[in-house]
Amino acid sequence: MEEVIRALLEPITEELGLDIIKISLGSGGRNQLLRVMVDQTGGVDSDILARVSRGLALQLDAEDLIPGAYRLEVTSPGLDYAFETMADFKRYAGEWVKVYFIDSRTVEGRNLGPLASGDGFTLQIEGKRPSDKHDEVVLLNEITKVVRAINWKEVSRRK
C-alpha cells in the first residue's frame, strides 16, 4: 500500500522540489492514520505542507485507496528526527548533529556526509580553539542514533 501511496505522492513532491522521507499507514484510533514526511534543502514551510496534503488527499479520494475514514498528516522532520538511512546523512550534510554512541557518550559536530562504503559518516568536531577542529569517521555500529541539533556557539557568534 505504501508503494502505491508513494506513486501518487511523487508527482506532487517532484513539482515542489521535495524529498519523501517517510510514509506510514497505521491505526490512529477509530480511523486509519496516514503519515507522510517530506523535506527539502532549507526546510519546508506550512504552505508547502498544506499543498502536499491537499494534493495527496485529492489523489487518495479519487483512487479510493484507503477504505473507510482516514486521517492524513503531512509533516517535515523536526530536530528530533533520528536519521534512518544513509540518504539522511547525505540530505543533511553540512548540518550540525548530535550523535548518541552505544557507550552512552554524546558528541556534537557537523555532519560531513556518508562514507562511500555506506557504513558510517564523517563528523567534523570543533574544539575550544579553531586549531582543534578535526574530522572523525563514525561507524553506524558504534551509535544508537543521530539527530539534527543547534550549534549554540554559532548562534551566539551571529549576535
| Domain segments of the chain as ranges | 2-75, 86-158
Considering the chain, what is the average pLDDT of its residues? Answer: 92
Q: How far apart are CA 154 and CA 88, in angstroms?
A: 23
- pLDDT at residue 139 above 80? yes
Beta carbons of 24 and 35 less than 8 angstroms apart: yes
Look at domain 2-75 and name its CATH class.
Answer: alpha beta
Same fold, 2-75 and 86-158: no
- pLDDT at residue 145 above 80? yes
- pLDDT at residue 159 above 70? no
Fold of 86-158: SH3 type barrels. (2.30.30)
The pTM (predicted TM-score) of the whole model is: 0.81
- pLDDT at residue 41 above 90? no
